Amino acid sequence: MSKINVAVLGATGSVGQRFIQLLENHPYFQVTHLCASENSAGKTYADIMKKRWKISGDIPKYARDIIITLPDPKITQGVKLAFSGLDASIAGEVETAFAEAGIHIISNSKNHRMVENVPLLSAEVNANHLDVLSTQKTPGKIVTNSNCTIMGVTISLKPLYEKFGIESVMLFSMQAISGAGYPGVPTMDILGNVVPFIGGEEDKAEIEPLKCLGRTEGGKIINADFKISAHCNRVPVFDGHTVCVSVKFKKKPTESEILEAWSSFKGEPQELKLPLAPDFPILYRQEEDRPQPRLDLETGRGMTTVVGRLRPDPILDWKYVVLSHNTVRGAAGAAILNAELMYRKNLL
């Protein structure tokens, strides 16, 4: 199979930067277009990003001299797929325009996430949801990935949900500042502080996992039917969302059954050995004080969900801690993995 040409929409933003970094030398995709707003259009990516590139290391060479264009499907000739890191204020409209023009959209934005025939795809969790794409009416298809906070949570729940059933889940997040983009959180708000509120986040955390873990029926996705309660907090961590989780199961598992469910969990990305797929979607750490962002973030090049501290919960059944890399596994990396899966399933 030959490489296909792709565009990155919202190329100057935080998620866009991760797309550009992770797509360097990608075996399936060739970035030919970088799209951003009028302020940036017409200039090279290197020029525009001189003070805005915020990932450690330099801008990948391939991207430096690409001249930024507007996110308009009329301009992106030859592109079959667009990765979208657009701001929610414009993502809905622009993504639809691309889909209508026959360009597939792999989006990290929230706008289409809850449409019933748009997969909220986490490649190891619900690859079967791609079945509903055939009911989308546009020639280009839209696939989204979930909010960064619940990405790792949903992966950790998947094998447990399959084997034991779930009645309810309590979530308590400690979220990194990179989740708010750039400039994002003012330092005066978070240095030596925590903020027990992130606008709109708890709503997403309480519904999106249900869709990811849902089933398809008649070309629609039917949500899983348990309940989630979320407390979302911002903490002064750069990258990496840590979430404390308590779960009540339908069929009560033992500790070793849970550990076994996690360690044996694999999905299509592992079977197909997709480029960004980690060897193991889930790693359980034995140490009593892990996972931690600083020590565990880069596990599986940021694509592995790291779990620890499994112990009985006096109210629900079991509790544990889950960490995932919010801008890799929780955003650009997840989206690219989704695209890789579609590429190998001949859906692009």
Positions marked active-site: 148, 241
Q: With contacts defined by CB under 8 A, name the span among 93-101, 158-166, 183-191, 333-341 that binds its own copies.
A: 183-191
Report the candidate in 129, 135, 96 with the shortest Cα–Cα distance to residue 338. 129
Q: Which of 220, 227, 250, 252 binds its own copies (CB under 8 A)?
A: 227
Does 321 sit near its own copies (CB under 8 A)? yes
Q: How far is the CB of 38 from its own copies (least distance, A)?
A: 22
User: Going by C-beta distance under 8 Å and a sequence separation of 6 or more, which residues neighbour residue 50?
Assistant: none
Q: Which residues face 84 on adjacent strands?
A: 9, 107
* Helix (H/G/I), strand (E/B), else coil: 238: coil
- Residue 61 binds to its own copies (criterion: CB under 8 A): no
- In angstroms, what is the minimal distance from the CB of 46 to its own copies? 11
Closer CB to its own copies, 82 or 321, in the complex: 321
Q: How far apart are CA 18 and CA 65, in angstroms?
A: 17
8 Å CB contact between 303 and 286: no
Closest approach, Cβ 215 to its own copies, in A, equals 21
CA 145, CA 107: separation in Å to the nearest integer? 7
Give yes or no for residue 263 binding its own copies (CB under 8 A): no
Stretch that binds its own copies, among 25-33, 127-135, 154-162, 186-194 (CB under 8 A): 186-194
Asked if 343 contacts 174 with a C-beta cutoff of 8 angstroms, the reply is no
Q: Cα–Cα distance between 106 and 348 in angstroms, integer? A: 11
Tokens of 64: 């430096």
* Residue 295 in contact with its own copies, rule: CB under 8 A: yes
Of the listed pieces 30-38, 60-68, 129-137, 188-196, which binds its own copies according to CB under 8 A? 188-196
- Which structure tokens are listed for 117? 């025939």
Q: Which residues pair with 72 in a beta bridge?
A: none
Interacting residue with its own copies among 66, 97, 195, 259 (CB under 8 A)? 195
Q: Is 294 in the site for its own copies (CB under 8 A)?
A: yes
Residues 55 and 58: their CA atoms lie apart, in Å, by 8
Q: How far is the CB of 309 from its own copies (least distance, A)?
A: 6
Residues that bind its own copies (CB under 8 A): 50-51, 53-54, 56-57, 168-170, 172, 174, 177-178, 182-197, 206, 227-229, 231, 233, 235-238, 242, 244, 246, 287-299, 308-309, 313-316, 319, 321
